[in-house]
C-alpha cells in the first residue's frame, strides 16, 4: 500500500512539472491577439500567448529559488533565442528577492550557440563566450534556454560547464519539443512541452525573423518559403 502511494506521488509530480500542449490542439487563431502587421499571413496559430508565458515563468522562478536560493547564483543565458526568457525569468527571481529576507547575489552571463539554418538543426555547434568561465567554480549555475529540441545543445553545454566544477548545475527550458529521442536529457525546469513543430516568437527566430513577436506561434509553410536563405 505504501509503495503504491509513493508511485502515485511520483507520477503526479512528474505530470505537473510542465504544461503539456497536445499534438492535436490547434492553438489560438492569430486574429484573437495583437501581433505586428508585418507578420500577417506568416503564422498558423498562437500556441503560447505572451501572458501565459509570463505566468508560467513566475512559477518557474519560485521553483528555482526553492532549489538554488541558498547560494550565489550564476545565470547562463543561451543566446540568441534565450534572451527574452532569461530577462523575464531574472526579473521574476529579482521580484522574489525583493519580497524576502532570504536573498542571494546573482550574476548573469551570456553565451551563444548556433545550430539552426532555416528550420533544420546543423551539425556544427559552436559555443561563443564560454572560453573562460572560472567564475562558475563553486557556484550554483542555472543554464537558461528558450527551447530544447534534440537536447544536443544542452548536452554539449552541460559537459562544458561541468569542467568548471560548479556546486550545482540546473537547466531551465521554456519549451521542450516532444521528440522520440530527447528523453535522456531534459531540463530540470520546463515551461511547456510542445508538439514537434517549428515555433517562433518571444525571441525565437526563423532565420533571424520573428524575434519581434510576443507570443509563441507556429510559423506557416508560406513564411518558411518567404524567409528562406
Residues that bind ligand HPA (CB under 6 A): 81, 116, 147, 149, 198-200, 204
Three-state DSSP at 136 gives helix
Residue closest to 21 by CA, chosen among 178, 149, 210: 178
Nearest distance, CB of residue 170 and ligand HPA, angstroms: 21
Selected binder of Mg ion within 39, 85, 116, 202 (CB under 5 A): 116
202 binds Mg ion (CB under 5 A): no
210 binds Mg ion (CB under 5 A): no
Pick 135 or 227: Cβ nearer ligand HPA: 227
Residue nearest to ligand HPA (CB): 204
From the list 30-38, 120-128, 183-191, 199-207, the region that binds Mg ion by CB under 5 A is: 199-207
Contact code string over 66-105 relative to Mg ion, x by CB under 5 A: ----------------------------------------
Residues sharing a CB contact under 8 Å with residue 133, sequence separation 6 or more, in sequence order: 109, 161, 164
Nearest distance, CB of residue 117 and ligand HPA, angstroms: 11
Pick 69 or 201: Cβ nearer ligand HPA: 201
Residue closest to 145 by CA, chosen among 60, 29, 55: 60
Rounded to 10°, the helix 83-98/50-68 angle is 60
Pick 87 or 125: Cβ nearer ligand HPA: 125
Residue closest to 42 by CA, chosen among 192, 149, 166, 198: 198
Pick 189 or 206: Cβ nearer ligand HPA: 206
Nearest distance, CB of residue 208 and ligand HPA, angstroms: 11
Cα(103)–Cα(70) distance, integer angstroms:
8
Chain centroid to CA 123? 21
**Residue 127 has which C-alpha cell?**
559555443
For every residue of 20-38, DSSP letters joined together read E--TT---B-GGGS---GG
205 binds Mg ion (CB under 5 A): yes
The footprint of Mg ion (CB under 5 A) covers 116, 205
Amino acid at each position: 500500500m505504501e509503495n503504491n502511494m509513493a508511485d502515485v506521488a511520483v507520477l503526479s509530480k512528474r505530470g505537473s512539472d510542465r504544461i503539456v500542449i497536445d499534438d492535436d490542439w490547434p492553438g489560438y487563431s492569430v486574429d484573437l491577439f495583437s501581433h505586428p502587421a508585418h507578420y500577417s499571413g506568416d503564422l498558423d496559430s498562437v500556441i503560447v500567448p505572451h501572458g501565459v508565458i509570463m505566468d508560467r515563468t513566475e512559477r518557474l522562478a519560485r521553483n528555482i529559488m526553492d532549489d538554488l536560493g541558498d547560494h550565489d547564483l550564476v545565470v547562463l543565458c543561451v543566446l540568441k533565442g534565450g534572451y527574452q526568457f532569461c530577462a523575464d525569468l531574472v526579473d521574476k527571481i529579482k521580484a522574489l528577492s525583493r519580497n524576502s529576507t532570504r536573498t542571494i547575489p546573482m550574476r548573469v552571463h551570456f553565451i551563444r550557440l548556433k545550430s539552426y539554418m532555416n528550420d533544420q538543426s546543423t551539425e556544427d555547434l559552436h559555443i561563443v563566450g564560454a572560453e573562460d568561465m572560472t567564475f562558475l567554480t563553486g557556484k550554483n549555475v542555472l543554464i537558461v534556454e528558450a527551447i530544447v529540441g534534440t537536447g544536443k545543445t544542452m548536452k554539449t553545454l552541460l559537459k562544458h560547464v561541468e569542467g568548471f566544477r560548479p556546486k550545482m548545475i540546473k537547466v531551465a527550458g521554456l519549451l521542450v519539443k516532444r521528440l522520440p529521442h530527447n528523453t535522456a536529457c531534459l531540463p530540470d525546469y520546463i515551461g511547456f512541452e510542445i508538439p514537434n513543430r517549428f515555433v517562433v516568437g518571444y525571441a525565437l527566430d526563423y532565420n533571424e525573423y520573428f524575434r519581434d513577436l510576443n507570443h509563441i506561434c507556429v510559423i506557416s509553410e508560406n513564411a518558411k518559403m518567404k524567409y528562406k536563405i
